[in-house]
């Protein structure tokens, strides 16, 4: 494993552990990666931690400790298995994990120990919006996304701001550009689904119902009505209407009714009972 050369990644030994980890953690979070050259999982985890430290740009420090070369530190920390990762704040261990973990898990570990600058800036942006300074709020949220491109809360907040201003295309671009992963990515997809459902509906509820009653095969009116019902929170009625439209013509407009149902599923989340019920009915219809 190569020696670390950046200001936010340090190779630490028995000689300087007290200074570089214990004392330094009083001013900035320090993540300690206990590893050894013969450890296979260490070779997977180490580069990931270094990359995340580089992304953090100094918001936290990565201290890499080769346990073979630093037996005193290993004994003091009670190391029994490696890789072992410990997070220090104010001279104390505040979190830890053992073994190579997926990137999403490691990111969440780091996010829990780093001061949440993004949350503070988002709060300031929302206060600007409440005072009517939408331009200032937009600028601040875009600044947050430049600093934290994976922050789903900032992306969704900015998208909502743009939607309220009638800029749906700009809102969708913000969501499409998000680099959020894991649960945060699901939050982005929910916002995208909500935006797709509300966009491009031609007509109001009364007019669309009249069109469907006059011509049950007016598939465009049926789909627009289903999307309109979804946008107003009447999900079961919307899903029933869209499912029947799939049954009547599953290929209309490149499967628009089915796609609208998928957007409703994304909006509700996989744990919602309506999703489980209508996913099964849709699958039965499509594959029977």
Mean pLDDT of the 205-222 span: 95
Residue span of the structural domain in which 94 resides: 9-113
3-class SS of residue 160? helix
Distance separating alpha carbons of residues 111 and 58, to the nearest angstrom: 13
Distance separating alpha carbons of residues 175 and 212, to the nearest angstrom: 33
pLDDT tens digits, residue range 107-139?
Answer: 889 988 876 778 889 999 999 999 999 999 999
CATH of the domain at 232: 1.25.40.10
Q: Is the pLDDT of residue 2 over 60?
A: no
pLDDT tens digits, residue range 82-91?
Answer: 999 999 998 9
Distance separating alpha carbons of residues 222 and 283, to the nearest angstrom: 20
Distance separating alpha carbons of residues 35 and 45, to the nearest angstrom: 9
83 prior amide bond cis, ω within 30: yes
Residues 236 and 179 in one domain: no
- Pair 180, 174: CB distance under 8 Å: no
pTM summary value: 0.60
Residues 282 and 219 in one domain: yes
Q: Is the pLDDT of residue 219 over 50?
A: yes
Tokens representing residue 263 in the block: 């957007």
Which of residues 151 and 114 earns the better pLDDT score?
151
Residues 84 and 153 in one domain: no
Domain boundary among 79, 96, 113: 113
Distance separating alpha carbons of residues 189 and 181, to the nearest angstrom: 11
Residues 108 and 149 in one domain: no
Catalytic residue among 42, 65, 145, 175: 42
Please say if 39 is a catalytic residue. Answer: yes
pLDDT tens digits, residue range 160-171?
Answer: 999 999 999 999
Band of residue 17 on the pLDDT scale cut at 50, 70, 90: very high
Q: Is residue 189 part of a domain?
A: no
Distance separating alpha carbons of residues 34 and 5, to the nearest angstrom: 17
Question: What are the phi and psi torsion angles at 182 (to 5°)?
Answer: 60, -135
Domain boundary among 73, 92, 113: 113
Distance separating alpha carbons of residues 159 and 142, to the nearest angstrom: 10
Please say if 42 is a catalytic residue. Answer: yes
Residues 77 and 162 in one domain: no
Q: Is the pLDDT of residue 5 over 50?
A: no
The kind and range of the H/E element at 141 are helix 134-147
Q: Is residue 190 part of a domain?
A: no
Distance separating alpha carbons of residues 242 and 274, to the nearest angstrom: 13
Of 54, 117, 61, 116, the C-alpha closest to 88 is: 61
CATH of the domain at 104: 3.40.30.10
Band of residue 185 on the pLDDT scale cut at 50, 70, 90: confident
Identify the pLDDT of residue 181. Answer: 80
Distance separating alpha carbons of residues 195 and 198, to the nearest angstrom: 5
Catalytic residue among 21, 39, 122, 264: 39
Residues with Cβ within 8 Å of residue 62, at least 6 apart in sequence: 4, 8, 9, 10, 30, 31, 33, 49, 50, 52, 53
Q: Tally the domains of the chain.
A: 3
* Of 171-175, 195-199, 264-268, the least confident: 195-199
Mean pLDDT of the 75-96 span: 94
Q: How many other CB atoms are there within 10 angstroms of residue 196's CB atom?
A: 19
Q: Is residue 192 part of a domain?
A: no
Residues 146 and 82 in one domain: no
Identify the pLDDT of residue 247. Answer: 96
Round to the nearest angstrom and report the end-to-end CA distance of the chain: 55
pLDDT tens digits, residue range 26-70?
Answer: 988 999 999 999 999 999 999 999 999 988 888 899 999 999 999
Average pLDDT, the chain: 92
Mean pLDDT of the 202-218 span: 94
Band of residue 104 on the pLDDT scale cut at 50, 70, 90: confident
- Pair 22, 61: CB distance under 8 Å: no
Q: Is residue 200 part of a domain?
A: no
Q: Is residue 277 part of a domain?
A: yes
């Amino acid at each position: 494993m190569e020696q670390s050369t950046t200001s936010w990644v340090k190779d630490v030994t028995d000689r300087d552990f007290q200074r570089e980890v214990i004392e330094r953690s009083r001013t900035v979070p320090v993540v300690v990666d206990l590893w050894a050259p013969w450890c296979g999982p260490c070779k997977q985890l180490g580069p990931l931690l270094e990359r995340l430290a580089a992304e953090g740009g100094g918001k936290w420090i990565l201290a890499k400790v080769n346990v073979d070369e630093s037996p005193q530190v290993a004994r003091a920390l009670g190391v029994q298995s490696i890789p072992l990762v410990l997070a220090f704040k104010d001279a104390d261990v505040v979190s830890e994990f053992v073994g190579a973990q997926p990137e999403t898990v490691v990111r969440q570990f780091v996010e829990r120990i780093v001061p949440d600058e993004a949350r503070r800036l988002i709060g300031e942006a929302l206060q600007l919006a409440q005072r009517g300074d939408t331009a200032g709020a937009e600028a601040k949220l875009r600044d947050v996304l430049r600093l934290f491109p994976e922050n789903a809360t900032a992306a969704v907040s900015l998208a909502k701001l743009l939607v309220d201003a009638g800029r749906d295309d700009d809102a969708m671009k913000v969501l499409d550009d998000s680099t959020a992963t894991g649960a945060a990515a699901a939050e982005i997809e929910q916002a995208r689904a909500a935006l797709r459902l509300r966009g491009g509906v031609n007509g109001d509820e009364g007019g669309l119902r009249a069109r469907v009653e006059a011509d049950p095969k007016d598939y465009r009116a049926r789909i627009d009505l289903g999307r309109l019902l979804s946008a107003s929170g009447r999900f079961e009625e919307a899903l029933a209407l869209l499912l029947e439209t799939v049954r009547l013509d599953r290929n209309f407009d490149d499967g628009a009714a089915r796609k609208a149902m998928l957007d409703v599923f994304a909006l509700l989340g996989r744990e919602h009972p309506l999703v489980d019920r209508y996913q099964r009915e849709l699958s039965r219809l499509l594959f029977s």
